[in-house]
Structure 1
Amino acid sequence: MAKILIIEDEISFSQILCKRLNRHGHQCFQVASMEAAFAQIIDISPDAVVLDMKLGEQNSLLQLPKLRQKLPAAKIILLTGFASIATAVEAIKAGADDYLAKPVATQALLKLLFDDSDMNSTGGEQTEDIIPSPARVEWEHIQQVLKLNQGNISQTARQLGMHRRTLQRKLLKKPAR
């Protein structure tokens, strides 16, 4: 059983991720800020860290070298809702072991954290949960942009390059699996 520290300001996402990792026999700890993480890091002594790249207005990349210094043996995975090659390179240079885009599949995360090659035989998730559908990825992206625009549908529609009514229709639909 590994100890995993999840540093994520989106509490619902953090709780879901923690439950999924607990089902695989790991002990999870959740914090919502880097300050809270640094305050508890000695007591927890995690084997792995799952770190959100954007914690509120703060960019976690700036704190990554300090985190790596405090936990030299821990596996650190950076999660982001806005993946790009440039930030992936920057994250690895700053001390992350790997980089994943949200939404993250449990199997993919476990493989990066522990290199579990036989996860399917240990009660892992089904294939549908490993790779999200394009509709689900689109829905997640729309939610991220909407959150960044503080719920402003007109601004979100402009940024996404779609008509406001189209965006409203997409928001009325339930999220795809």
Structure 2
Amino acid sequence: MGARGPRKKLPELNRLDGSPGKRGGSDLPDFGIEAVGDVFIPDHLHEDAQGCIEVIRGSMPPKLYAKVDSFILSAFATAWAVHKQATHEISAPGFDWIVTSERGNQQPNPWLRILDKQATLLASLGDRLGLNPRARADLKLPAEKPASKFDGLIGLPGSSGLSKH
């Protein structure tokens, strides 16, 4: 059985949100291992799945996903491509909602089961990837710190030039 309570947010989303307490967002400790590399799109994926990964990559903050996340993104994108195909089948003219099995029993068309299964998988994987509306609504990118009027006067940029001598 899984852990109780709401699923925790991705650490990078927490870091981008900042600290809701009295501490500043930069005071949040950095626990966990930071993965490296850019997401890649496997060549063997259907073109719809490849496009799905491109949309996700372009829609989320930079460096949110790493190379190792390519596998779960591929699974999500493949589920989306299968869901899209099932939707096209159901939308086709003359689609039979009820079909007769080999044994002669009436049953729902198998495309309906495929559609439902992929929708469930998309919701589950999307939640793990931070692709749900709540994660996007809560996402706050860190504000850029305005430059000091003393920056660059003496010494390196970013230092006011004042020393503690």
TM-score range (shorter-chain normalised) is: under 0.3
User: Which protein is bigger by CA-based radius of gyration?
Assistant: 2
Bigger share in strand: 1
Give the TM-score normalised by structure 2: 0.24
